[in-house]
Chains A and B, each alone.
Chain A
Amino acid sequence: MLPGLAYFLLFHYGALVGNVIAFKEYVPFDGLWGSPWVGPGNFQRMFEDGAFWDAVLNTVWIAVLQLVFYFPVPLGLALLLHSLTWSSVRRFVQSVAYLPHFISWVIVVALFQQLLGDTGLLNSSLDGMGLHTADIIGNPDAFKPLVVAQVIWKDAGWGTIIFLAALAQVDEQQYEAAAIDGAGPWRRFWHVTLPAIRPVVVLLLIMRLGDILSVGFEQMLLQRDAVGPETAEIIDTFVYYQGIVGGDYGFAAAAGLFKGVIGALLVYAANKVAHRLGEQGVYK
């Protein structure tokens, strides 16, 4: 167990200590420990920076869009798959639907560019039919719906796993008993299916709310330059561009630490609410 534990101590706790840089001004020559302290200076600068608040707003906005438009999709897909009685069809569709989860963001973004870009499949077809072409890739107005669509394409299939597992736990006899008692499909759905998946839905909602300051970093980083930071900058890419690209490590680490602390507090709060509602929550 030692190498694994050593890894956590070094790369997680070692790096965690490195967050002191958020209270310093990083001087490359002096290194992490030799750089001068600046107290809360980095945080002050951050709170006065309009670009930082834009990034926070973009992050939360995209997370909310995902919650509204992505979250129901795997649930609906799981219910659809669960309702199939033809198991070989079901297994085939499941296999196909899981697949995009294993494709890297680089490839997913490339695929979307190929299909929806200026000269992509969609626009060539529209053009061929004499219709107006759709300006999707590189259009700031279309960016947020586009990234949500990408998340749906990549992860909605995989997201069904946890719902399908919950649905599989339901005893067939419950459905049968309800049917014999005269409950139609809708009432069976309402009184048997829904109670079975409710804990999972609540759990996932809580986890998503706790994680609201995170939206796919790789996905956004890959596409930020195509539409500009006003639309596509999220907290994580802000940290990246300020720190790694700009070299302002202290300032960037302050933004990262801000996100980490708020994120942990949100998970804690969401968990409390779950317990209050009589649900299990993420941890006890």
Chain B
Amino acid sequence: MSAHVRPGWLEKPKPLTQAAKALALAAVVLLVCVPFLVIVSTSLASTDEVVDNGGWVLWPTDPTLDAYRDILDGGIVTHALGVSAGVTIVGTLLSLACTVTLAYALSRPGVFGSRPALLLILFTFLFPPGMIPSFLLVKELGLLDNYASLVLPVLVNVFNLVVLRGFFQGIPEELYEAARLDGAGDWWVLVSIVLPLSKAALAVVGLFYAVAYWNSWFYASLYLESDHWPLQQVLRTYVVAGSGLTDATTGEGTVTAPQTVQMAVLVIATVPILLVYPFLQKYFTRGVLTGAIKS
């Protein structure tokens, strides 16, 4: 259970200090949790209750799933949810594959051209190409209104690459040598030795990619027609910008979604992150990142 160890040399804290600390910690937890509580509660409340309460509910008296039923029965949000899930899964797998292979090549000494390649890559961090040239490039490549435009232009993230490379470099050299003596080729070493030892780093980098793809909306607004939009971009247009939602069933006219439905979309866009987060959170504290940041 909880380790509550006070080193012998440490003074007993004054009650006042302790109270101040407890207050600060409670404030942090409340500031993060209350907003989520409000949107979840409001999404579960009945429309009448929300109106009576002036637009929000802290705790629904008579919870109902109506709002979720409304948006999940095959309308625009259901489609957007599918797009987001697809882009996130395919994008994360592609990004991981490309980042792992590149990081592995850059982490081994003596790979031909790896030094200039690394400098070339790090330079892009210092000097990104800019929005307009990137947009024109995607246009010239004919990727407009193609889901690939959400993945290919952000395929490998330099930070993630550096994290993985640092982690691979931390693997003891003896393991590589032993494998090589057994006659293992580069691919086999990567698959049978490096990857199994790097589960924590892969989990963190995979999470970063997945979160980035799931949360991405700007590229969708730039490159895709509105009927191909992922969830976050749908959310943006009709919760943040407050415009009406095109009637999903008829495709004509707009209906301004009731508050409960808007909040339900917010919840659906947040829930996948809340679900994955606890499983991966433990790796953050284990120094996967900090080791790489130092390098």
Contacts and interface: CB of A to CB of B under 8 A. Distances in A.
Interface of A is mostly: helix
Interface string A42-60: 0000000000000000000
6 contacts: A12-B124, A18-B134, A103-B215, A124-B53, A240-B131, A260-B127
Given A3-B101, A176-B7, A179-B9, 10 more contacts: A7-B98, A18-B133, A98-B284, A102-B215, A128-B54, A157-B28, A180-B9, A243-B132, A257-B130, A260-B127
B5 interface: yes
A143 interface: no
Given A15-B133, A124-B56, A267-B126, A153 B38 contact: no
A256 B4 contact: no
Contacts of B191: none
Contact of A106 (B21, B33, B236): B236
Contact of B127 (A16, A94, A100): A16
Given A86-B2, A119-B54, A121-B56, A106 B133 contact: no
Contacts of A175: 7, 9-10
Contacts of B4: 85-88
A93 interface: yes
Contacts of A25: none
Nearest to A90: B25
Nearest to A76: B24
B64 interface: no
B102 interface: yes
B117 interface: yes
Contact of B135 (A19, A87, A124, A244): A244
B77 to A, nearest CB: 14
Given A120-B55, A124-B53, A96 B35 contact: no
Given A31-B140, A121-B56, A264-B126, A102 B98 contact: no
B181 interface: no
A253 B281 CA distance: 40
Contact of A113 (B21, B126, B240): B240
B88 to A, nearest CB: 12
B130 A111 contact: no
10 A-B pairs closest in CB distance: A4-B102, A18-B133, A1-B105, A104-B215, A88-B2, A15-B129, A165-B290, A256-B130, A179-B9, A119-B55
Contacts of B29: 92-93, 96
Interface in A92-146: 92-100, 102-107, 109-111, 113-115, 119-121, 124, 127-128
